[in-house]
Structure formats: structure tokens, C-alpha cells
Amino acid sequence: MKYRPLTIYTLLAFSLLLSVGCASTPQTDDPLATALTNSKSRSAEDKARDAGRRPAEVIAYLGIEAGMKVLDVIAAGGYYTEVLSHAVGPTGTVYAQNPARVLKFRDGANDKAMTARLANDRLPNVTRLDRELGDLGIEPNSLDAAVTALNLHDVYNESPAVALGMLRSIKDLLKHGGVLGVIDHEGNFGADNKSLHRMRMLDAMALGTNAGFTVQYSPLLVNHYDEHTESVFSPTIRGKTDRFILKMTKP
């Protein structure tokens, strides 16, 4: 696969970043990275994903710390739920949210994975919420942070209006100064991003701005060798896609 040169859309993206906000990603030897690596109960599959996802650095960039109350939006099987559990520690709380359609996906694979992950009170600071986003029972203005990883593209590609409503619902739950971290697969302008399971960072940034967030970008998960032309499930690119991270802060 060839190196992807800068295009007019890339240049436009950088122009928007300068106006909306681009934050540097801290390089860190955070104890979280050591904890995730050394955890004896964490699965080998999760640990294998760490190289492509760099979870400790993502958490550091988003400013998620011990004692915080955090929501994992569309948690699926719970990879980030467990990362967040380690990050907030015993004095923090993680809500792992999944709507019914996600729990039914692939013959209930996500439901089974989350059940196994939380079995025997393995992650005692995690509360499972098998509920729709608008009916979580969480007090408004009570969360320190939220994360949604590799989900926004599916919502946006079905309905930009629903995606905007999703971000607004999350913002309502956050404290002032609270952060929503959005991680997703970069797409190309004019491409069939729906079938590729991608979206353009510019569209995600516009959603965040329209929802009332201040938006910043991190290049931590950039991969210039991904030309955004393959499905994210293609064996040649799966787990190695070019991804953007947006830090959306509630004013």
C-alpha cells in the first residue's frame, strides 16, 4: 500500500483544525499503561489490540483520571469499558452503555462479551446500562467524561440528525468542562463511507461544534498508509486504520 500524499481535503482539514483547535497529545509513561500490560485478568485479545489503539495515551489526552465518573457510549464488548475501569480506579465509576440493537448484533456477541467481562464482579467500579442513550437514569451535568470509540460513523451514516442528537444528549450529561472523546475511522470526501464504516473527521468536528462543544484534535492514531478506500473490516487494514481522536469539551 502506497503512502497517502496530502490532498486538498487534508489541507482543508488542517485549516479547520487551526480554527477549531488542535491539541498536542502528551507522551507519557502513565502507570495506566503498565497496569493494562501487567493485568493478569485482562484478556490476551484485549492486550493485542493495545498496539493499534494506544489506550493509555488516549486516556491521558482526554484527561481522564482516578476518581472520575465516566460513560462508555455504545460500549459493545467492553474493550474501553475495562480500560476506563483501570483509569478511574476504585474511587471512580464507569457506566457501560449499550442499546438493544448493539446487544443483539451478531447473535448477541457483544452481550456475551460484556457478560463475561463483568462476571463475578471482576470490574466492581463498572455499572452496566443496557438502555437507550436517552434513558440512562444518569443525572444531567454529573459526568466528568464520556468516550465513544468507533461508533459515531455508523450513527452518522444512517442519519446526521440522529448523530447530532446523540452528541447533544451526551453533552447534557457532562459537567461544565467535561469531555467527550470520539475515536473513529477516517473516510474520504465523496466516498461510500457507509459501506466502508468510516466518516470524515471534518464531519465529526462539525457535529461536535454544532452540538455546542469546543473541539480539539489529536493525531495520535494517524496512519498515512491507510488510503481510506477499504472497509475497516478488510484483513489488510483491520486494526490499523487511520483514525482521528476528537476531544469535545462542554463549555
pLDDT mean across residues, the chain: 91
* Mean pLDDT value of segment 171-195: 97
Average pLDDT over residues 106-133: 95
Domains in the chain with CATH codes: 8-249 (3.40.50.150)
* Mean pLDDT computed over 189-218: 97
**151 pLDDT higher than 60:** yes
Q: How sure is the predictor about 17, in pLDDT bands with cuts at 50, 70 and 90? A: low
Q: What is the mean pLDDT of residues 165-186?
A: 98
| Residues 83-101 pLDDT 10s | 999 999 999 999 999 999 9
Residue range 213-233: mean pLDDT, rounded: 96
Indicate the pLDDT class of residue 2, thresholds 50, 70 and 90: very low
Amino acid at the residue 244:
F
Is the model's pLDDT at 68 over the cut of 90?
yes
pLDDT of residue 105: 86
**If we measure between CA atoms, which residue out of 198, 101, 100, 182 comes closest to residue 148?**
182
Distance between CA 150 and CA 73 in Å, rounded?
10
pLDDT of residue 158: 96
Question: Greater confidence, 38 or 1?
Answer: 38
Sheet holding 69-72, edge to edge: 126-129, 93-97, 69-72, 143-149, 174-185, 243-249, 214-218
